[in-house]
Chain A
Amino acid sequence: MESSTRESAISASSSGLVAASRNGVTWLRSWMRAKVYVGGAIVLTLVVVGTAAPVLAPHDPNAQQLRRTLLAPQWFGGTHFLGTDNLGRDVLSRIVYGARVSLLVAFAVVLISGLVGVTLGAVSGYFGGKIDFAIQKSVEVVWAFPPLLLAITILAFLGQGLLNLILALVAQRWIQYCRVVRGQALSLRTRDFVTATRALGASDSVIIRRHILPNLIQISMVIGTFAMASAIISEASLSFLGLGVPPDIPTWGTMLADGRTYISTAWWLALFPGLSIFVTVLGINLLGDALRDIFDPRLKRTGAGL
């Protein structure tokens, strides 16, 4: 009952695309295209920068130059384009390497939680009964945690580390896929094409793999895009709190945590890593918005990405 009120409530907020299209389809199309281009360009840049970090970074991100600490950005001519931090490490190089961690964590979290969530959601919705009950109870338990708190709790007990961080974020993230996919699977289960396949003698696993899952790909992609944006923010937040990645790996979050101490004298330490997070997340959100509009304007009903 609870979920049905919530879903019906959310369903009232559909995308508004219908109304907007009355005013000008052309305008809307061009805006959508702009979203895809801008978002896509930002994400592509991140991927390139992340993978080619050793080539692109002008300096070793961990090389300390204790005689050249807290240098202001040298826009023209200098060797430290975005300045240096309190240990004389090159800020630009650290940001470039930081992209790597953000990318790795975000992709890992989205893929693993997608795999877990979609599978459990499909199984839960398709089979129903006791399996459904057990899976939905665990969803409820995770759901009872404010988003970042579960990750903080897990990391508090397991300690820092890249793997622990990914695990902690997956623990929170999979329920989003699970809830949406379960609902879809529930409705797909009774569709004619599934009944027909079953009548032809197909097994449950064939039906799930060949007929249910392919129908869930689009919706999962949209959830995945938004999940990626929030995984990047979560990773940065946890690293900022000193719970995420160990301090010897440069990340945007740890850079902000270190830079915060020097906020009154070295503004660049607080500005650039945060700007990197913001622009990246903005790009992914733009892409997600566009994907949602393209795939299914009514997808907002499921609350994906909210």
Chain B
Amino acid sequence: MASYLVRRLAGTIPVLLLITLLVFLLLHAAPGDPASLLLSDATSEADVLEARQRWGLDQPLHVQYLKFFTAAVTGDLGKSFRFAQPVAELIATRLPATVELAAFSILIAVTLAVPLGVWAGARPNSWVDNLGTSFGLFGISMPNFWMGIMLILLFSGSFHLLPSAGRSTYGVVGAQETGFYFLGSLLGGNWPGLKDALLHMAMPGLALGANMIGILMRVTRSSVLEVLHEEYVVTARAKGMAERRVLWRHVLSNALIPIITVAGLELGTLLSGSIIVETVFAWPGMGSLLITGVTSRDYPLVMGLVMMYTAAFVTINLVIDALYGIIDPRIRY
């Protein structure tokens, strides 16, 4: 197992290398020169040249790439054009918001989808199953940003129940220093802060999790259906075990592998979904930062964030692979 993980880890290194190269090349395929884009038209020719020199844009491509790469490896992602701040620092301040939102969405998705899927799978073609399956199809077909907008329309616009933007209310003291408002408030016993964080997270979390709910529900359902016909289930029933215990202990634990696989695959969709949902809800995470970077042509910022996202995604895939061995001891590497 350990040697397998080491091999897999080693396998991801060339992939990450290729990604830095790809992103770097894209930057130079971009029309227009970053220096002239960034400086106003009134800037003199000499100043533009000076800026190009300062940013190292006058050097040959491979030198620029090497410089960029060696810096990136040591954690230096350059300085943002727009914010005039190190990119790594900017990302670090935004990271907790994205992590907290994504974790919350996964939590919503799993707690809703898995029981619903098991329920539907245990009674195929019943009304529960039909309702669950239609619900799943709705979740899959719903564009998450539109769902966000509709939630705002309903819960902020009509009922005035939930805040439509941001992570906290001005004046409510959360756990600002760590950046994890929800977790920090929970651990510190700060109830007003916890409630505030939860209220802000409810709508973006649901909008982001909707797709995952639909997909997880469908997978759980079909996985449970499949396992229900295994012989050990028949045995468990034959020895008089309560149906509920059969379902939740024997069936679910054996149906988990495909559920986890799909959940892992869906994390990628969740990550890219968070970019849009964060924009809809003005959530101060990495996604809204990325869009700010893209629209203001802040190339170092965009490159840094893209590498951050891909590295996170590759790591998640690695963790999921490692999880198989723990969940299902039959899987050997």
Most chain A C-beta atoms within 10 Å of own C-beta, residue among B27, B215, B276, B333: B276
**Residues of chain A having any CB pair with chain B under 8 Å:** 1-2, 5-6, 9-10, 12-16, 19-20, 23-24, 27-28, 137, 140-141, 144-149, 152-159, 229, 233, 236-237, 240-243, 256, 260, 263-264, 267, 270-271, 274, 277-278, 281-282, 285-286, 289, 300, 303, 306
Q: A15-B222, A141-B18 are in contact. Are A146 and B152 (CB under 8 A)?
A: no
Q: Which residue of A lies closest to B302 (CB)?
A: A156
Q: Is the CB of A13 within 8 A of B141?
A: no
Flag whether B309 is at the interface (Cβ < 8 A): yes
Most chain B C-beta atoms within 10 Å of own C-beta, residue among A9, A148, A154, A241: A9
Q: Is the CB of B149 within 8 A of A260?
A: yes
Chain B, interface size category, equals 35 or more
Q: Is the CB of B310 within 8 A of A144?
A: yes
What CA separation (Å) do A23 and B157 show in the bound complex?
46
* Between-chain CB contacts (< 8 Å), 9 pairs: A5-B324, A5-B333, A19-B226, A141-B15, A236-B145, A256-B149, A263-B153, A274-B149, A281-B142
What CA separation (Å) do A224 and B16 show in the bound complex?
29
Q: Is the CB of B262 within 8 A of A156?
A: no
Which of B48-56, B104-112, B289-297 is the contact stretch?
A: B289-297
Q: A5-B324, A146-B271, A241-B279 are in contact. Are A16 and B141 (CB under 8 A)?
A: no
Q: Is the CB of A5 within 8 A of B321?
A: yes
B288 vs chain A, min Cβ distance (A): 10
What CA separation (Å) do A260 and B277 show in the bound complex?
13
Q: B130-159, CB under 8 A of A: which get 1 and which 0?
A: 000000011011110110011011000100
Instruction: Kindly list chain A residues whose C-beta atoms are within 8 Å of the C-beta of B294.
Output: 152, 155-156, 241, 243
Contact of A10 among B149, B261, B275 (CB under 8 A): B261
What CA separation (Å) do A277 and B280 show in the bound complex?
17
What CA separation (Å) do A9 and B260 show in the bound complex?
9
User: Besides the contacts A146-B272, A153-B23, A289-B137, what 5 more A-B pairs have beta carbons closer than 8 Å?
Assistant: A15-B222, A16-B222, A145-B19, A156-B293, A241-B294
Q: A267-B157, A270-B153 are in contact. Are A12 and B313 (CB under 8 A)?
A: no
Instruction: Kindly list chain B residues whose C-beta atoms are within 8 Å of the C-beta of A137.
Output: 14-15, 18
Q: Is the CB of A153 within 8 A of B225?
A: no
Q: A23-B125, A263-B152, A274-B150 are in contact. Are A149 and B140 (CB under 8 A)?
A: no
Flag whether B84 is at the interface (Cβ < 8 A): no
What CA separation (Å) do A15 and B222 show in the bound complex?
6
Q: Is the CB of B261 within 8 A of A152?
A: no
Flag whether B183 is at the interface (Cβ < 8 A): no
What CA separation (Å) do A226 and B280 show in the bound complex?
25
Instruction: Kindly list chain A residues whose C-beta atoms are within 8 Å of the C-beta of B333.
Output: 1, 5
Q: Is the CB of A5 within 8 A of B331?
A: yes
Q: Which residue of B lies closest to A172 (CB)?
A: B272
Instruction: Kindly list chain A residues whose C-beta atoms are within 8 Å of the C-beta of B268.
Output: 145-147
Instruction: Kindly list chain A residues whose C-beta atoms are within 8 Å of the C-beta of B293.
Output: 156
